Amino acid sequence: IFNKDLGQHILKNPLVVNGIVEKANIKATDVVLEVGPGTGNLTVKMIDKAKKLVAIEMDPRMAAELTKRVQGTAEQKKLSIMLGDVIKMDLPYFDVCVSNTPYQISSPLVFKLLCHRPLFKCALLMFQREFALRLVAKPGDPLYCRLSVNCQLLAKVEHVMKVGKNNFRPPPKVESSVIRLEPINPPPPVDFEEWDGMLRICFMRKNKTLAANFKTQSVLDMLERNYKTYCALNDICLMDAFNIKELVQQVLEEAGFAESRAAKMDIHDYMKLLVTFHEKGLHFR
């Protein structure tokens, strides 16, 4: 009866359910967005606390199950179900998000939520353990990666609880964790595409120096193309002696990160680096 492709593992342990609901700290004025409600074990615990709950569910059988479960209760009017794939949908307004979805959509879901406007108060998200640990990893942690930096640029991230496989029916193959996201409001004034473009290069080999990563020919070609466009648009004449490799190394030296390694740099380091690139007219898109 459960659809493995849709990651249908139902949360059975009421302690875990209650722990998530408690951490969500739902107020009577809040609109809750629940992604992947399944049979509604979390839904029924949240709906009486909220002003309204919007559930996004891909499986019509699950949606029917959930409808049945609240039918005839006082909460029935507060529930609306949107049928479909959360990644392909326009999200409605919400204050708090709670989600327990298949692990394939973890990364797109995090960034879909963080790009949603207006910003929400917080999100409680169940993820595969390793993915959750990547989200919260700090500089120097073995799991610190581009995902950690991108997520922590836009949100405060906290590991809330470990959830073992046996809390689910049927049990999944992997261990899970719940994390809490709180968007930084207002968001930092960073062009996310530029930011991510730069991070991709820094993290190509996260334990190598930036100077080494930025000597890659395809990287230099890309930066040179973008630089020429930038110069053309801003009426800047290219010097005869122009050398992209030297210019890039000059930026790294000036920012003080030529010998730094991505694995050890924090958000402020990356912000300083991006500003220094921009000051020299170097762009990542």
Instruction: Please tell me whether residue 11 binds ligand SAM under the rule CB under 6 A.
Output: yes
Instruction: Please tell me whether residue 116 binds ligand SAM under the rule CB under 6 A.
Output: no
Dihedral through CA 16, CA 20, CA 26, CA 32, nearest 10? -110
Instruction: Please tell me whether residue 87 binds ligand SAM under the rule CB under 6 A.
Output: yes
Instruction: Please tell me whether residue 183 binds ligand SAM under the rule CB under 6 A.
Output: no
Q: What is the distance between the alpha carbons of residues 162 and 229, in angstroms, rounded to a whole number? A: 49
Instruction: Please tell me whether residue 175 binds ligand SAM under the rule CB under 6 A.
Output: no
User: Angle between the 244-255 and 217-233 helix axes, to the nearest 10 degrees?
Assistant: 90
Q: How far is the CB of 117 from ligand SAM (least distance, A)?
A: 20
Q: What is the distance between the alpha carbons of residues 59 and 85, in angstroms, rounded to a whole number? A: 9
Q: What is the distance between the alpha carbons of residues 164 and 151, in angstroms, rounded to a whole number? A: 24
> Which of 97, 105, 136, 273: binder of ligand SAM (CB under 6 A)?
105
Neighbours of 96 (CB within 10 A): 22
- By CB under 6 A, how many residues form the interface with ligand SAM? 24
Q: How far is the CB of 7 from ligand SAM (least distance, A)?
A: 5
Instruction: Please tell me whether residue 231 binds ligand SAM under the rule CB under 6 A.
Output: no
Instruction: Please tell me whether residue 59 binds ligand SAM under the rule CB under 6 A.
Output: yes
For 116, phi and psi rounded to 5 degrees? -70, 140
Which residues in this chain contact ligand SAM in the complex, by CB under 6 A? Answer: 6-11, 35-38, 41-42, 56-59, 62, 85-87, 100-102, 105
